[in-house]
Amino acid sequence: MKKLVTCLLLLFLLPACSLPPAARITAAYLVRPPGQLSQSELDRRPEIFVTTSFAAFQQAARQRIALWIDKNALTLVDSNWLDQPPQSAYPIIVIGYNDTLRAFRDGLTICCFAGPANPDYSGSEPGFSVILRASGEMGAPMIMLQGFKQVPHVDDILRISNDLLDGNIHPTSTVPPPNVPSATPP
């Protein structure tokens, strides 16, 4: 009997010890091929869930993650869903446009963006735009909004979205972070 219990215990414990733990998803990337991000870069990052299905994208967002949306997939997104809690408080990143007005007002058509009726969007590519809508001090609404005029790379975007998920919100700047290749000099 003791040998049987020991064997059963080993059968249950050995698989847990030998298999690596599943990567925690920290971002979901909705894309309609061809996307703006390199597939080989994405393949090296198991923490990024890549999908062409809005339903799968919504499913992934049941936990707090960053929501990455390729400019080619903007028409797949239900902007009303993005404006509803809890996902309205997640970091949202549009990949392909460095102009936040083009990305969020005219691309995603999410709530509450004002700006010129006919903006000049020349020069709004390449890049990516980030928004985080949250509560600041004493519950006051706080919005972090930033466009990045650079060739989008998975590691750069992941670093920013992970910082936002961790609550590390930095003041906006027109200068890209160090070691990030920029399409224009700072």
> Has residue 15 been placed in a domain?
no
75 in any annotated domain: yes
* Within-domain flag for 147: yes
Query: What's residue 1's pLDDT?
Result: 60
132 within some domain: yes
Is 9 inside any structural domain?
no
Task: Copy the structure tokens of residue 48.
Answer: 């990024």
Decide if 96 is inside a domain. yes
- What's the pLDDT at 17? 39
Distance between CA atoms of residues 165 and 28, nearest Å:
13
DSSP result, 44-99: T-TTEEEES-HHHHHHHTTSS-EEEEEGGGGGG--HHHHTSTTGGGS-EEEES---
Q: Which of 111, 80, 81, 77 is nearest to 94 (CA)?
A: 77
| Residue 131 counted as domain residue | yes
Helix (H, G, I), strand (E, B) or coil at 173: coil
Element (H, E) at 8: helix 2-18
| 136 belongs to a structural domain | yes
What is the tally of structural domains in the chain?
Answer: 1
For residue 68, give its domain range.
23-112+122-165
Along the 186 residues of the chain, how does pLDDT read in single tens digits? 665 444 444 444 434 433 334 469 999 999 999 999 999 999 999 999 999 999 999 999 999 999 999 999 999 999 999 999 999 999 999 999 999 999 999 999 998 877 888 888 998 899 999 999 887 677 777 788 999 999 999 999 999 999 999 988 764 444 444 444 444 444
Q: What is the reported pLDDT for 20?
A: 38
* Residues 126, 68: Cα–Cα separation, whole Å: 15
Q: Are 55 and 86 in contact (CB under 8 A)?
A: no
